[in-house]
Amino acid sequence: MKHNFYRLITSYALITTLSCSSMENTKKEIITEIAAIQRPRFAQYLTEDRVVITGENGCSIVNPMTNKEIKKISTIGCFHLSINPHKTKIALSQDNATVTIYDILTGTNEWSKTKKGRISYAAFSPYDESIFILYTNRLNKLKKYNYLTNERNGRYINDDLYSFFTLSRPRLTSSNERFEQITFYNQNSILATLSQNYKKSWIEYWNLKTQTLIHKHSLPSKINNGLAFSPDKTKVLITLSDKCIILPVPDEVIKEHNNIIKEKMLFPSWILKNYQLKNPQMQVPDDIMRYIVATLRQTYDA
């Protein structure tokens, strides 16, 4: 009986030590803690030195380097945000069942739409001046609006659409884990997932082609839905329950990313070299060749 008691105490001490060690390592790896916005809910990178954060008290643009609020966009509680491809406008999904589009530079309200029922997400179209809004009430409705003309372009009602938009929140009952957010690190090759259970939270990176785990990293506290990569893909912005943190992208992920790009570059590189060999009288100048290779890499690196 006495031996079992000592074994129990030893096991508890070991688990506690390992847990503290893991938490300490996480704290050491944090590049920046952003506490300028209280009770954050969602965050996205705008530029390397500007992030947009939503929370219970509205939405602000913050300098992550100085932890200072640069501009207050809205004072209404927001739970989600979307930035258009040109990074000139921001759409806020607000607590009052309203989606509002603001000009990022001036902070002016350019368009808004209020509907009865809960708004889950709003997302800009990458092709035109349209925005998609997903309403979740008795019926799941996905609606498309032109925010310049204020016209609605058709109506889509489909329960499967709700499943598509909520892929970031599936429930894994077998292990009590919950995915809170997913996002691509690069073009559909590496996926980052933000997960938690009742004890802990973590971020994982997956190779989608091989369906293997590249890296798993524990987080210091409970998480919200924000997960975004910096424009240079070296940092990741994560929204916790009490603050936002910026972590370095693990070396394993960057290495895997570079290997994927090399693999994708094999065929176009072979075509270029083969062309040079078969057409010695029409050699492509070195500077043009470097430009072509750089452009291809930039395309695959998006």
Are residue 142 and residue 261 in the same domain, yes or no?
Answer: no
Q: Provide the edge-to-edge strand list for the sheet that holds 212-219.
A: 171-172, 177-184, 190-196, 201-207, 212-219
264 within a domain of the structure (yes/no): yes
Q: Is 242 left (phi over 0), alpha (psi -120 to 50) or beta?
A: alpha
Are residue 281 and residue 235 in the same domain, yes or no?
Answer: no
Domain that holds residue 70: 22-249
Are residue 180 and residue 274 in the same domain, yes or no?
Answer: no
Are residue 264 and residue 200 in the same domain, yes or no?
Answer: no
Average pLDDT of each block of 10 consecutive residues along the chain (302 residues)?
Answer: 48 44 58 87 93 92 92 90 92 87 92 81 88 76 86 59 42 59 83 86 89 90 87 93 92 88 81 80 78 76 66
User: DSSP 3-state assignment of 31?
Assistant: coil
Closest-CA residue to 217 (of 189, 257, 246): 246
Q: At what angle do helices 251-278 and 286-300 cross, to 10 degrees?
A: 140
The pLDDT value given to residue 195:
87
The pLDDT value given to residue 164:
43
The pLDDT value given to residue 282:
75
Residue type present at position 13: A
The pLDDT value given to residue 47:
93
The pLDDT value given to residue 57:
87
How buried is residue 211: exposed, middle or buried, by Cβ count under 10 Å (0-12/13-18/19+)?
exposed
Are residue 40 and residue 125 in the same domain, yes or no?
Answer: yes
Are residue 186 and residue 214 in the same domain, yes or no?
Answer: yes
Are residue 162 and residue 84 in the same domain, yes or no?
Answer: yes
Q: For 115, phi and psi rounded to 5 degrees?
A: -140, 155
CA distance 53 to 79: 10
Closest-CA residue to 130 (of 156, 167, 94, 168): 156
CA distance 111 to 61: 19
What pTM was computed for the model? 0.76
The pLDDT value given to residue 203:
93
Are residue 201 and residue 282 in the same domain, yes or no?
Answer: no
Q: Concatenated DSSP letters for 53-106?
A: EEETTEEEEEETTTTEEEEEEESS-EEEEEE-TTSSEEEEEETTTEEEEEETTT
CA distance 87 to 178: 31
The pLDDT value given to residue 171:
42
Are residue 154 and residue 282 in the same domain, yes or no?
Answer: no
